Amino acid sequence: MVLHLAEQLSIPLRQRNQLLLAAGFAPSFGERSLTDTTLAPAMAAVEIVLKGHEPFPALAVDRHWNLVSANAAIAPFLADVGEASLLTPPVNVLRLSLHPGGIAPRIVNLAEWRTHLLERLKHQNDASGDEVLIELERELRTYPSGLKGSRPSPVEPNAIVHPLRLAHGDQVLSFISTITVFGTPLDVTLSELAIESFFPADEQTRTVLVRLAKERAELS
């Protein structure tokens, strides 16, 4: 009955184990390290998805938003990160995105993107109550909002998504993103793994990404 209710309520596997323990039962779902050999086929699938998304950026993160893997298209956008410690493993992608020594200074619509990321994190915290994520949210909220001396950009009436707009040299690249998760995971760690894929929101961005991919291929 506990498992049936958890399934109907779409409760994450980690919390389902906690419910079972509270009800006096043993946990039903295992939890392995991402380096466990039994997860090798799943991790290979992750790498295929990341590689297959090139020349567009994609990355995989764990439940604490720590970087698990990324494709080559991510590299050019990390070149100007001023705070080297942000790139020291484990790399937290939310911290890297919003820290003033990270990517934040290059995010043209920082106020809107910051709000988007914090809302995602708050929703995750409301569902999980994870102390690590709660502390991360507190930290991120102390970072500059990008609102000083400016106002949030109005949402276009015909817009379908809110893009990430990133300065790259003298150009502004625009991205939309999607989240991919495993459809039928039975392992807690695997169920919490997510792939975020970024797509060009305009032709200029597509052209730049294709050119950068060709330059990487010529150097390799």
Question: Secondary structure of 121-171 in the HEC alphabet?
Answer: HHHHHHHHCCHHHHHHHHHHCCCCCCCCCCCCCCCCCCCCCCCEEEEECCE
Q: Is the pLDDT higher at 202 or at 149?
A: 202
Q: Do 115 and 146 sit in the same domain of this protein?
A: yes
* Residue 95 sits in the same domain as residue 10: no
Are 110 and 152 members of one domain?
yes
| Mean pLDDT to the nearest integer, 191-206 | 96
- What is the reported pLDDT for 75? 86
pLDDT 10s digits, 130-156: 899 999 999 999 998 866 654 555 555
Say yes or no: 47 and 2 in one domain: no
Greater model confidence, 78 or 65: 65
* Residues 78 and 158 both lie in one domain: yes
Q: What is the predicted pLDDT for the residue at 25?
A: 87
Are residues 52 and 11 part of one domain? no
Confidence category of residue 80, pLDDT binned at 50, 70, 90: confident
* Domain shared by 3 and 74, yes or no: no
Residue with tokens 């939309």: 176
Q: What is the pLDDT of residue 101?
A: 95
Do 92 and 3 belong to one domain?
Answer: no
Reported as half-sphere exposure (CB side, CA atoms, 13 A), residue 2 has a value of 16
**Which residues, at least 6 apart from 160, have a Cβ–Cβ distance to it below 8 Å?**
none
How many structural domains does the chain have?
A: 2
Task: Tell me the pLDDT of the chain averaged across its residues.
Answer: 90
Least confident of 7-16, 38-47, 61-70: 7-16
CATH number for the domain including 110? 3.30.450.180
Same-domain pairing of 20 and 106 = no
Q: What is the pTM of this model?
A: 0.86
Domain limits at 204? 38-219
